[in-house]
Amino acid sequence: MEHLINPGVKDIQISGIRKIANLVSQFPDALSLTIGQPDFPTPDHILQAAKLAIDAHKTTYTANPGLLELRQAAAAFVRNKYEMHYTPESEVIVTTGASQALDITLRTILEPGSEVLIPGPIYPGYEPLIRLCGGVPIYVDTRSNGFKLTAELIEPHITDKTRCIILCYPSNPTGRVVSGQELADIASLLEQKSIFVISDEIYSELIYDQPHVSIATIPSMREKTIVINGLSKSHSMTGWRIGFVFAPEYVAKHMVKVHQYNVTCASSISQYAALEALTNGVDDALPMKEAYMQRRDYVYNRLLQMGFELEKPEGAFYLFPSIERFKLSSMDFTMRLLNEHKVAVVPGDAFSIYGEGYIRISYAYSRQVLEQALDRMEDFVRKL
C-alpha cells in the first residue's frame, strides 16, 4: 500500500537537525550543542496563568484566529516594541507555533509552479512546506555576503513566477541580522513588483547590539509583507506551541480559512499562558538575551582561538563556523567529533547545499556545558 502515499510527502526528508539530535541519544556521555531551544524554564508567572486557566475550565475551543484579548496583546506587543501596526480583529492570527504559521501562509499564497526565493544556508523547515504546496524553492547563495540576503543578491533571481521572498532574521543558522538600510534596499527593489515577503521574525527579541527592524514597517512593504513570530524563543515556550501571523486584512481573511481547517484553533490553555506572556511578561526575554550575549562572546572567542573562520552573530543563539580547512565534509566532521570526542553539533548541509563546509553550534546551553564541549572540540581539531 505504500505506493499510494503522496510522492511529495515520500520525498521529504526528516530535518538534519533532528537526525543528529536523535542520534545523540545513543551517546549518553555526549554533550549536545544541537537544538535551538532555550535552556531557561518558562517564566513562573506564565505557568501560573496556565494553571489558573485549567482550574477555571477554560478548555473549550476559542475563536479560530485566537482569543481576541490575546490578539490585542500581540498587536500591542509588536506596536510598542517594533512600531508595527495591525488590527487585532482582522490582521492577527494565533497559530500552533511559528511552523504552522508558515504552513498556512504558504498554503494561502502559493499555487503549483510558484517560485519562492530563500536565502541559503537557511533553516530546513521552509523547503518542504513550499514543495508540499507545489511551489519551487529558489535558493539565493548568501555565503559571499556574510550570510545576508540583500537586494543585490535577490534581483538576478526574480522571474515572472516569483511569488514571494522569505526573510529570516536574526537567521537560523548564522545569527546574522539584515540592517534597516538593507531592508530599505529590498523594499526599493520590490516597490513596483507584485511579490510577497514572508518575514520570519521568531528571534526578534534576541537581537544583541541593535533594535529589531521589520520590513513591514516600511510603508511600501506593509501590504506585501506577512510577518511570522511566536513565543518559543522569546519566552522559552517551545512546547506551548504559540505563534502569530501579522498580515494585511486582504490576505489574513483567507489565511484564517486555511488555519480553521488545519487546526481549528491553537490550544486554549496555551493561549491563556501566551496572554500572560504578552502582558505581564513583555520583557521576559531581556535576562535571557543578556545571558545569550555573554555565551555568544565566549563561544565566538573560543572558536577564533581554535582557528575557525566565522561571522559574529548579531542575534539568535547560533554560530556557523567554517570547517573547510579540515578537508572533511560537514557530516564527516560532525560524526567524527561525536564518535571520537562525544560532542554533537549540526552539519552545515542540514541547512541546504549552501551550508556544506560549515557546522552549526547552538549556544542555548549552560556555560558549564559550553566550556566542556569546547574543550573537547579544541582537542579534536588539534588532532585533525
Give per-residue pLDDT as tens, 289-325. 999 999 999 999 999 999 999 999 999 999 999 999 9
- In DSSP notation, 42-62 reads PPHHHHHHHHHHHHTT--S--
- Sorted by where each starts, the structural domains of the chain and their CATH numbers stand as 2-42+285-383 (3.90.1150.10), 59-279 (3.40.640.10)
The pLDDT tens digits of the residues spanning 131-157 come to 999 999 999 999 999 999 999 999 999
User: Bridge-partner residues for 119, per DSSP?
Assistant: 140
Which pLDDT value is given to residue 203? 98
Mean pLDDT across the stretch 159-167?
98
Distance between CA atoms of 349 and 176, rounded to whole angstroms? 18
What's residue 191's pLDDT?
95
| pLDDT score of 19 | 80
Residues 189-210, mean pLDDT to the nearest whole number: 97
Strand order of the β-sheet with 346-347 is 318-319, 359-362, 346-347
35-90 confidence digits (pLDDT tens): 899 999 999 999 999 999 999 999 999 999 999 999 999 999 999 999 999 999 99
Cell matching residue 251: 490576505
Residue 358 has pLDDT above 90, yes or no: yes
